[in-house]
Amino acid sequence: GQIPNIISGLNLGLNYKGFDLAASFQGAFGYYKRVSLGSFTQTFFDNRWTAENNNAQALIPRLGGASTNGLLSDRNFIKSDYLRLRSIAVGYSLPTSLLSPVHIREARIYIGGTNLFTLSELNKLDLDPESPYTIQDGQPTTSYYPQQKTIMLGVNISL
C-alpha cells in the first residue's frame, strides 16, 4: 500500500571526555509510492528500451502520444522504504581550566548538519521519499521540492 507499515525514529546521544555526538534518524518501511510517468526523469530516459538495452524494466517506445503514461499500472508503483539521517552534531567543550582565566564559564565548538543522507530506492529516480502524494490536473504527481541539506559550524559561549 501507499501507507508505511512501519514508521520509525532513533535518537542517539554520546558524551566522552568533552566530546559529544547527537544524531537523529527517521525512516518508513513497507510501502510503495505511485510515480506518475507523465513527468519523466533522466533515469527513465537513460533506461529506455533500445536494441542494446532490452531489459525487462526498460520503457518500450511506441507510436502515438504519451496519454497512457498516467494509467494505473504496477509499473508506476515504486518501493519507497527509506532511512534518513535527519540531523547530526559533533561538538567539543573546552576544559574549564582553559576558560576560567578569561572569565568564560563554558565554551563549545560544533559542526552539524541536517538531511545529509537518505537510503532509498527512490534516490535512483531523484525523488524524495517524503514527497507528498498529490493530484495535479487530475493526475497524481510527486512534484515536490526535496528536503534541504544544511551544514552548520558554530560556537556556544557562556559567560
Bigger pLDDT: 55 vs 79: 79
Q: Is residue 1 part of a domain?
A: no
Domain holding 46, by residue range, is: 6-158
The CA distance from 151 to 155, in Å, is 14
CA distance 1 to 79: 10
- 93 domain residue, yes or no: yes
Residue 49 lies inside a defined structural domain of this protein = yes
The pLDDT of residue 39: 52
Query: Is 104 contained in some domain?
Result: yes
Q: What is the pLDDT of residue 126?
A: 74
Q: What is the structure's pLDDT at 57? A: 62
**pLDDT digits 0-9 by tens, 85-107:** 999 999 999 999 999 899 999 99
63 within some domain: yes
Number of domains in the chain: 1
The pLDDT tens digits of the residues spanning 32-58 come to 887 665 555 566 667 767 777 776 565
